[in-house]
Structure 1
């Protein structure tokens, strides 16, 4: 049942991309939002590396 972690990782990856774009359009907390996007994408890549390996 590897589809559930994949769907979760994909959703977190898309959220991270959204946070990247949002960081350039807001007027406050640009750095914090951008770093949150980096952390979200890092987490989205870590899920398949750790949970979906055989």
Structure 2
């Protein structure tokens, strides 16, 4: 995996964890912020799965 997709996925993962942590502080938007955290973490995990899936073959 190259450096650029790693940095993007790590930033999305950390941002998603941050959204999880502030979800209870945001009054009225708790569910939206928490769901945004779920989306960020899911996208952060999907990037390495797809990049590694295309680059490594035969295993």
The size of the alignment, in residue pairs, is 54
Structure 1 vs Structure 2 CA RMSD: 1.2
Give the TM-score normalised by the residue count of structure 1: 0.91
In structure 2, runs of 5+ residues without a counterpart are none
| Bigger radius of gyration | 2
TM-score by length of 2: 0.84
Over 2 Å off, 4+ runs:
none
Unaligned runs of 5+ in 1: none
